[in-house]
Structure 1
Amino acid sequence: MRCDPSLNKLAVIAAALVLGGCGGMPKNAEEFRQFTLERTRVLGAMSVAKETFEVERPFREVSSTLQKKANECLKVVVRRTGTDKYGYTRSSVDTFKPTFIASSGKAELHVQLKRSAVVEVGAPPDGAYRVVLDATPVAAKQTRIDIYTMSVDDSLLQRTLRGWARGDNLGCPDLTKR
């Protein structure tokens, strides 16, 4: 009997995810960066890769925008209530927590998510890291951006941070649609 190659690939991916979880959830931004890079190395194109790009904006301007918009848009609590087809009602609360850290040579924006409806074993007290953005100056009017994300579920946050870094989309994301 022959095994379906796609099932073998799926089994390897499942094993990698299970074994990868043995180390626990990232406890800080640096562990999250390493987790993201290792996941990409193991899973390849199936995972969310780190995004790197440069913007034609001074580092101080990018840093200032990130700090302002994070405080304005990402300190959010989302309450959800839904009823399934059997009549059971479920409620949950998602709490987003941005953290901005800056020095003369680097700015970081970390976004954590604490979910009441999900038990994330080993997550930090403020929730699991979902996105980490690093901004570093390249030249007087040029800044390098690295965005690390947990999953494709975080594409809304990723697009938002990309727009803020570029300065071309300064709106707040609707995190109820995440």
Structure 2
Amino acid sequence: MTGRRTAVNRKSKLSLGQVLNLVVTVLVLCLGPAMIVFGQHIINIDEELARTGTHATGTIVEFDDVTKASERDIEVEFMSLDGTYHVTWAAVDHDQHPEVGAYVTVVYREADPSHAIVLGYESDGVWFRGAGTLITALFVMIGVIVAISVAVGRSKRRKNAAVDGMPVV
């Protein structure tokens, strides 16, 4: 063989911009599932606390009755076993109508009373899980629409090429 080289088809390398776009896309696509997992983790922690924590009677000291669901919450004051007063918050569903001054059951971690939940009210994890589900569903729908658009575009190009007598690729 002489020093002659033949042309070889090589895959082109991705530019820095393409790599960054790919990384951002993967991160955005993982956002919804990550929020679902995080929300479920918080819910599991709160359920474990409800089973094993110390119960106390709390008093609703504030109720933010707003129309935006993510900001509708109550502030509850309770006293731990050591006689110290603590405050916790709980999300309020739209079908719940708590009243300031009403008594609720608070469950807290005896070693750390700042970690407390109010029985009968949503865990913060519910919001994360719901938002993650919506984000995931949105991206799946966008993906389906893009896939259908690409398939329709290829089908039209093939049909046009066949009509023009060109080879279909």
Say yes or no: TM over 0.5.
no
More helix by share: 2
Larger Rg belongs to: 2
TM-score, with length taken from structure 2: 0.23
More strand by share: 1
TM-score, with length taken from structure 1: 0.23
